[in-house]
């Protein structure tokens, strides 16, 4: 029984440390997105991916499929929820940047600034046609 408690404590500590590190990586990712710093973004995304892989390994060691974390691990649950929310925010920032870049490319290829409508999925659909650069 004491061995099982020690494993549980080690698991809680390991998961909490990984989630804290993931929270930092997500903050770095958002900062890079805001600054549009490609090198910093690349490093943050690579760090995030490594931490997610480590979390997958750790949860595989300590958690059975479909089984929730123990109720006593409120700190780990809170950290996981914070990381999930930060990742959703970063996903929104990525989508905004992607849309902006797409629009800039469209303008560079001769598209006009004009009315835009939203599709049923929430994506912008332009009604104006673009033309290749150099063609009248």
Task: Decide if pLDDT at 39 tops 60.
Answer: yes
Q: Which residue has the higher pLDDT, 5 or 95?
A: 95
User: Are the beta carbons of 124 and 116 closer than 8 angstroms?
Assistant: yes
* Confidence (pLDDT) at 22: 97
Confidence grade of residue 71 (pLDDT, cut at 50, 70, 90): confident
Quote the pLDDT of residue 3: 47
Task: State what percent of residues in the chain have pLDDT above 90.
Answer: 43
Whether the per-residue pLDDT at 7 is higher than 90: the answer is no
Residue 28 has what pLDDT? 96
Sequence-ordered list of residues with C-beta below 8 angstroms from that of 131, at least 6 positions apart, any chain: 109, 110, 111
């Amino acid at each position: 029984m004491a061995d099982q408690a020690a494993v549980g404590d080690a698991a809680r500590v390991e998961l909490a440390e990984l989630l804290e590190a993931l929270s930092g990586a997500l903050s770095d990712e958002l900062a890079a997105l805001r600054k549009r710093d490609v090198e910093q973004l690349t490093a943050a995304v690579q760090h995030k991916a490594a931490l997610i892989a480590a979390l997958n390994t750790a949860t595989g060691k300590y958690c059975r499929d479909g089984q929730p974390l123990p109720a006593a691990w409120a700190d780990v649950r809170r950290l996981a929820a914070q990381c999930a929310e930060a990742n959703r925010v970063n996903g929104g920032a990525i989508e905004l940047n992607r849309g902006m870049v797409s629009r800039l490319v469209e303008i560079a290829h001769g598209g006009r600034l004009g009315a835009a409508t939203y599709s049923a999925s929430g994506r912008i659909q332009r009604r104006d046609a673009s033309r290749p650069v150099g063609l009248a």
